[in-house]
């Protein structure tokens, strides 16, 4: 009963995102803009760009996911669907988690797949690509979960975007640090696997904490 409810919600959110645009277009444009601005700001020297490429792509991924954070709950909150969702057979935390996963599938995951090849424009080494993919795909779930936490905290506010940024960016820092570490360490004697595993651990921790926190915040707004 619960599973069919959650699957229906997932399908609904994915369909809505596909038809209306859940922010993927805006996020991709943002990543492209960053990829253009970085060499313009720092100069076209390929060696410099290569050293910065992994970090810059991660930063672009972070900021573009954050851009879409306020849409995750906004529409449903405004038209009353979120109110109805608190009354279904599934716990509200699972509803929130399902919406976060829909966001991940339609926004963060595609971005995480597109970003590494775009890094080639910043002269990233081809050998770094597989690890960058692995790290970004692992981290993208954490990014979506934390973004949905931000969206939940600012759900009832009108200009929530900037507030979400100041709240969630510090929480993104561990993901950023271990994400970049798992890519750049490959170039040295150390293995980058530990960093990737810690990234996975952080994602799992977010998987538990953020739905509970997001649900608590949303319930306060819905009262």
Tokens 């306020």 — which residue? Answer: 70
Nearer to another protein, 132 or 181 (CB): 181
Nearer to another protein, 33 or 205 (CB): 205
Nearer to another protein, 42 or 173 (CB): 173
Q: What is the DSSP string of 152-220?
A: HHTTT-TTHHHHHHHHHHHHHHHHHHHHHHHHHGGGSSS-SHHHHHHHHHHHHHHHHHHHHHHHHHHHH
Closest CB 181 distance from another protein, rounded Å: 6
Closest CB 157 distance from another protein, rounded Å: 6
Closest CB 59 distance from another protein, rounded Å: 14
| 223: Cα within 13 Å, side-chain hemisphere | 5
Q: Are 167 and 153 in contact (CB under 8 A)?
A: yes
Closest CB 110 distance from another protein, rounded Å: 26
Residues that bind another protein (CB under 8 A): 149, 153-154, 156-157, 160, 163, 166-167, 169-171, 173-174, 177-178, 181, 185, 198, 202, 205, 209-210, 213, 216-217, 220-221
Q: What does the alpha-carbon distance between residue 92 and residue 220 come to, in Å, rounded to a whole number? A: 13
Nearer to another protein, 89 or 173 (CB): 173
Closest CB 1 distance from another protein, rounded Å: 29
Please name the residues in contact with 57: beta carbons below 8 A apart, sequence gap of 6 or more: 35, 115, 116, 118, 119, 122, 124, 132, 136
Nearer to another protein, 69 or 202 (CB): 202
Give the chain's end-to-end CA distance (angstroms, integer): 26
Nearer to another protein, 16 or 209 (CB): 209
Nearer to another protein, 32 or 93 (CB): 93
Closest CB 30 distance from another protein, rounded Å: 22
The SS3 assignment for 212 reads helix
Nearest to 199 by CA among 147, 108, 149, 131: 131
Residue 158: exposed, middle, or buried by beta-carbon count in 10 A (0-12, 13-18, 19+)?
exposed
Closest CB 208 distance from another protein, rounded Å: 10
DSSP 69: T
């Amino acid at each position: 009963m619960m599973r069919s409810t959650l699957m229906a919600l997932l399908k609904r959110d994915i369909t809505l995102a596909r038809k209306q645009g859940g922010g993927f277009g805006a996020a991709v444009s943002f990543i492209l803009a960053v990829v253009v601005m970085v060499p313009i700001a720092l100069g076209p020297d390929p060696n410099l760009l290569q050293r910065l490429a992994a970090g810059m792509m991660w930063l672009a991924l972070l900021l573009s996911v954050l851009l879409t954070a306020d849409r995750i709950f906004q529409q449903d909150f405004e038209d009353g669907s979120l109110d109805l969702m608190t009354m279904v057979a599934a716990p509200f935390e699972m509803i929130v988690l399902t919406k976060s996963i829909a966001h991940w599938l339609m926004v963060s995951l595609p971005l995480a797949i597109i970003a590494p090849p775009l890094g080639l424009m910043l002269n990233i080494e081809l050998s770094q690509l597989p690890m960058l993919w692995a790290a970004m795909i692992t981290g993208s779930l954490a990014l979506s979960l934390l973004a949905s936490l931000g969206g939940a905290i600012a759900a009832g506010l009108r200009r929530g975007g900037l507030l979400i940024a100041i709240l969630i960016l510090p929480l993104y820092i561990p993901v950023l640090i271990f994400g970049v570490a798992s890519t750049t360490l490959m170039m040295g004697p150390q293995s980058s696997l530990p960093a990737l595993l810690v990234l996975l651990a952080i994602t799992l921790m977010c998987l538990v904490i953020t739905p509970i926190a997001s649900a608590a915040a949303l319930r306060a707004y819905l009262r």
